[in-house]
């Protein structure tokens, strides 16, 4: 039996959003970028029934000394029960592929928030992908642009804003984050052979 898919995805999303708001209103310092990344990973565990996502969420929290919220712990418990009942779905290879796709979409969003156009951001993200994942097949900028437009830009996320708006707000609140991505945008080379076929 898979206990992960028995959880209500929408309820998990709402509960995590409320937990973030409660933490902020209590005056606690919240690593928002880590929180949102962990929330996304644990939500994927519920959506897919894949226990490896819960593992990734635990590792992310441990590496960043972030204590999982009650809702995140409920997902972790459901994952453990699923493993005990031998009901896990998916593979680590599948997660690795999806994680790379997620990373490249987020890079585009950060580059746009730092002042790049979509065309520039996609080209620079293609180079970042090639450098970060040398053993994976390179992604063309045209494919990255389509992926970002279809699966990231206008998707409504926590706080009822789009993914790109959420990233923009992070840059407005965090000057160091904005400067970091401005430097990445400035220093990342553009490789014309990674442009692809799309005309921007």
pLDDT tens per residue, range 148-173: 998 888 877 656 678 888 889 889 88
Q: Which bin fits 7, alpha (ψ -120 to 50), beta or left (φ > 0)?
A: beta
User: What is the distance between the alpha carbons of residues 94 and 99, in angstroms, rounded to a whole number?
Assistant: 9
Q: Which of 189, 196, 200 is nearest to 127 (CA)?
A: 189
Q: Are 183 and 124 in contact (CB under 8 A)?
A: no
* Interatomic CA distance for residues 23 and 70, integer angstroms: 12
pLDDT (tens digit, 9 = 90+) per residue, 61-93?
Answer: 988 888 999 999 999 999 999 888 776 666 677
pTM tops 0.95, yes or no: no
In a 13 Å sphere around the CA of 21, the CA atoms on its Cβ side amount to 9
Where do the structural domains in the chain lie, given as residue ranges?
9-84, 92-194
């Amino acid at each position: 039996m898979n206990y992960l898919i028995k959880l209500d995805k929408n309820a998990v999303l709402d509960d995590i959003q409320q937990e973030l708001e409660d933490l902020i209103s209590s005056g606690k310092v919240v690593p928002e970028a880590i929180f949102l990344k962990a929330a996304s990973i644990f939500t994927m565990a519920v959506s897919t029934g894949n226990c490896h996502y819960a593992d990734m969420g635990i590792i992310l929290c441990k590496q960043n000394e972030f204590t999982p919220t009650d809702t995140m712990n409920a997902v972790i418990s459901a994952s453990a029960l699923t493993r005990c009942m031998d009901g896990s779905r998916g593979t680590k290879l599948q997660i690795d592929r999806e994680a790379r796709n997620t990373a490249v979409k987020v890079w585009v969003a950060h580059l746009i928030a730092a002042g790049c156009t979509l065309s520039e951001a996609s080209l620079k993200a293609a180079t970042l992908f090639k450098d970060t994942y040398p053993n994976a097949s390179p992604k063309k900028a045209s494919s990255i642009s389509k992926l970002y437009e279809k699966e990231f830009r206008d998707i409504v996320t926590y706080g009822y804003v789009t993914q790109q708006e959420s990233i923009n707000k992070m840059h407005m609140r965090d000057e160091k984050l904005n400067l970091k991505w401005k430097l990445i945008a400035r220093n990342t080379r553009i490789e014309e052979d990674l442009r692809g076929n799309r005309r921007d």
